[in-house]
Amino acid sequence: MDSKEQQLTELLGLTARTLTHLTASMTSMSFELMRSEDEVTRSAGRRMIDRMATISAGLDEHWRLIGELTGIQVSQEQIETVHEVQMQRKVVTPIGGTAS
């Protein structure tokens, strides 16, 4: 593989990895939406999870093709994992008021 092909292959791998991380983050956020007390929000979370599953299946194909290009098969376990960042609710006290 010449230099340009190697660069393009590396770029494709980085792009697929970024999309994989983005998909994982959006899926995580969708699960958070499903914890809502609002039915419309929960429903939106369920729909987004379905969409993310479809996108994830497409990304699996990307990884398969990248493996064919590089000669190195990449399994799901070898893809860098995304660590979930959990946001904690911050209590804000308005000036002259009580905490909410």
Does residue 94 fall inside a structural domain? no
The per-residue pLDDT for 38 is 94
pLDDT at 48: 94
Structure tokens at 71: 């000669």
Does residue 96 lie within any of the structural domains?
A: no
Indicate the pTM of the whole model.
0.64
Residue at 57 is within a domain: yes
Domain with 60 in it = 3-78
Alpha-carbon distance of 12 to 3, in angstroms, equals: 14
Residue 72 lies in a domain: yes
Q: Is residue 13 part of a domain?
A: yes
pLDDT given for residue 80 in this prediction: 46
Looking at residue 2, its pLDDT comes to 84
Low-confidence ranges of the chain (pLDDT < 50): 80-92, 100
Helix axes 3-33, 39-70, angle to 10 degrees: 160
